[in-house]
Amino acid sequence: MIYLDNAATTKASRAAVNCMIDYGETAYFNPSAGYAQALAVKKELQNAAAILAGLLGANREEIIFTSCATESNNWAFECGLKNKKGNVVVSAMEHASVYESAMRLKSRGADVRFIPLDKSGHVTEDALLSVIDGNTAFVSIIHCSNETGCVNDIGSLCAAAKAVSPKLVFHADGVQAFCKIPTDVHASGVDLYSVSAHKVGGYKGVGALYVKKGFNMQPYMAGGGQQDGRRSGTENVGGIVGFAAAAAEYKEKARAFAVLGLRERLASKFAGLSGVKINGDGANSGYILSLSFDGLRGEVLANMVEQRGVLIGLGSACSTHVRSNRVLSAMGVADAYAAGSVRLSFSPDTTEEEALDAADIILSAAKELKEKIHG
């Protein structure tokens, strides 16, 4: 089996698995209890926060653990909006957990505006400036697209937005960027930044939100007052400690992966072929290759490829009846291509041999499909 759906989730690292066992069977104490064993567990949580903070360019106290990045993103929208009268600006390339959070605010009467994308699949400063104004209260722009791997320069975008509306809150969804591309939340100036464990070798159901020091973020989860009252709920200790261990390991491996240039090599196998489009130009994480095949159905192609031992993704926003892709459409990808899109996504453990074998399998499956359809 060749697994090329790492943007959906990654295999858990051995360190993360060991943490689940250790904190499940041995150090299973509630970190909020008062005895020494529990205090030791609490220390481990603080250590995990320090490790993640180091990877993000933050301070330990600025990291709050959540149940997933979907929670982190929802929290940002529900509690990060201080000026309730101001408008809310999000890009047209957001993950569903941001997009739907914005739509929920809109359904409550908020003025929600979308930043258009350029053809390369990025948010430009000009596009941002075309929708914000002095009354913008909240901006959310994804750091790296889960559809195309396109990377936005959130530091420049944040500075440009704050120059227009200095009090606005800037949130970035960093799920597909974290540990893959350089991330320095302090340098970029963002107020809130979401990450998820299972995209970097941690467990599913663990995430975090970076909240800039001094930002008075109201809790989303009410309850026992864990994490200094900022996020109630007994912490998923094994998952959190494993998240930190996995992320540190992932970042280390990511250096060697970057040198490999796997995405570009793979892309060159598809470039220039008639009826095939590579979605997204320019700055890319190197971990996602989005391809569109004119006139084919992405799910049929993915199914065929699966029969031949290769697991690939479809990207998001697909239903069994209508296959449209909000993000690709926003980049100007024609419907006939968008419907035939598939997503190949890598981890630092993906080998060149696997990726090139997968490319051959995808190409021959696409050719067969085309012949079936067009004779």
Give dist(CA 297, CA 316) in Å, integer: 14
Distance from chain centroid for Cα 35: 38
Beta-bridge mates of residue 172: 193
- Choosing from 19, 150, 158, 318, the catalytic residue is 318
The residue among 70 and 87 lying less far from ligand PLP, judged by its C-beta, is 70
Is residue 68 among the annotated active site residues? Answer: no
The residue among 251 and 369 lying less far from ligand PLP, judged by its C-beta, is 251
The residue among 205 and 275 lying less far from ligand PLP, judged by its C-beta, is 205
* 8 A C-beta contact, residue 323 and residue 299: yes
Q: Pick one of 13, 91, 101, 146: the residue that binds ligand PLP (CB under 6 A).
A: 146
- When asked if residue 88 is in the footprint of ligand PLP (CB under 6 A), the reply is no
Q: Pick one of 10, 87, 97, 140: the residue that binds ligand PLP (CB under 6 A).
A: 97
Q: How many CB atoms lie within 10 A of CB 170?
A: 25
The residue among 165 and 251 lying less far from ligand PLP, judged by its C-beta, is 251
- Minimum CB separation from ligand PLP for residue 68, in Å? 3
- When asked if residue 68 is in the footprint of ligand PLP (CB under 6 A), the reply is yes
Instruction: Mark 169-208 with x for binding to ligand PLP (rule: CB under 6 A) and - for no binding.
Output: ----x-xx-------------------x----------x-
- When asked if residue 347 is in the footprint of ligand PLP (CB under 6 A), the reply is no
- Minimum CB separation from ligand PLP for residue 140, in Å? 11
Instruction: Mark 230-249 with x for binding to ligand PLP (rule: CB under 6 A) and - for no binding.
Output: --------------------
The residue among 97 and 165 lying less far from ligand PLP, judged by its C-beta, is 97
Beta-bridge mates of residue 8: none
Give dist(CA 86, CA 36) in Å, integer: 48
The residue among 73 and 226 lying less far from ligand PLP, judged by its C-beta, is 73
Q: Which stretch binds ligand PLP (CB under 6 A): 46-54, 62-70, 255-263, 299-307?
A: 62-70
Q: Which own/partner contact pairs does 98-104 have at CB distance under 8 Å and 24+ positions apart? A: 98/73, 98/140, 98/142, 98/173, 99/326, 101/73, 101/74, 101/76, 101/77, 102/77, 102/140, 104/77
Query: Regarding beta strands 310-312 and 87-91, do their DSSP bridges make them parallel or antiparallel, or are they unpaired?
Result: unpaired
Supply 173's token pair. 């969804």
Q: Pick one of 16, 55, 64, 69: the residue that binds ligand PLP (CB under 6 A).
A: 69
Q: Pick one of 63, 90, 95, 345: the residue that binds ligand PLP (CB under 6 A).
A: 95
- Minimum CB separation from ligand PLP for residue 206, in Å? 8
Beta-bridge mates of residue 313: 343
- When asked if residue 51 is in the footprint of ligand PLP (CB under 6 A), the reply is no
* 8 A C-beta contact, residue 346 and residue 355: yes
Give dist(CA 81, CA 336) in Å, integer: 38
How is residue 287 annotated by DSSP? S
- When asked if residue 70 is in the footprint of ligand PLP (CB under 6 A), the reply is yes
Residue linked to tokens 């090139």:
356
The separation between the first and the last C-alpha atoms of the chain, rounded to the nearest angstrom, is: 30
Give dist(CA 307, CA 297) in Å, integer: 16
Give dist(CA 125, CA 104) in Å, integer: 26
Catalytic residues, by residue number, are: 318
- Residues of this chain that interact with ligand PLP (CB under 6 A) are 68-70, 95, 97, 142, 146, 173, 175-176, 196, 207
